[in-house]
Amino acid sequence: MNKLSILALASALALITGPSYAGDAAAGKTKAEAACVDCHGDDGKGDDENSAIAGMSVADFTKAITEYQNGTRTKDAKMAKAAKKLTPADVADLAAYYAKLPK
Ligand code: HEC
């Protein structure tokens, strides 16, 4: 195999293995300020009613949002509504941002 076909194979694999968009924490901060801080607080630490989401891993965060979006999590209608407005890129950006906030 020459170098070119190795490169072609690597990029094909990258496509197959799916979303390579890593999420932009700075963009996530802007989105959080617009849509999340009213309930979860500027620091993401929440309060008695709203969960603390600062410092969640990208995987846990993404799983939670996906569950609100697909209706698996139905405990809070307002949170579900907020999640349903998010695109996959929004979720990636927000996940990157909240993962960096201290718990
Ligand atoms: C109207 C208030 C409200 C808004 C706006 C809101 N949330 Fe929530 N969120 C909640 C509540 C209440 C819960 C806990 C609900 C539950 O137990 O299922 C929650 C739970 C979560 C969880 C799950 C936490 C866990 O421990 O599993 C995540 C992640 C989350 N919110 C992220 C966000 C993001 C990101 C935004 C902005 C796009 C947002 N929320 C906007 C009220 C809100």
Task: Kindly report, residue by residue over 69-84, the tens digit of the pLDDT.
Answer: 999 998 889 999 999 9
Ligand 1 neighbours, Cβ below 6 Å, are 35-36, 38-40, 49-51, 53, 61, 64-65, 73, 75-76, 78-79, 82, 86, 94
Measured CA to CA, the distance from residue 92 to residue 37 in angstroms comes to: 17
pLDDT band at 13 (very low <50, low <70, confident <90, very high): very low
CA atoms within 13 A on the CB side of 78: 8
Closest-CA residue, ligand 1 atom 37, reads: 36
pLDDT band at 4 (very low <50, low <70, confident <90, very high): low
Measured CA to CA, the distance from residue 55 to residue 31 in angstroms comes to: 17
C-alpha 97 – ligand 1 centre gap (Å): 15
pLDDT(17) > 80: no
pLDDT band at 22 (very low <50, low <70, confident <90, very high): confident
pLDDT at 34: 97
pLDDT at 75: 84
Measured CA to CA, the distance from residue 83 to residue 90 in angstroms comes to: 10
Residue closest to 3 by CA, chosen among 11, 18, 14: 11
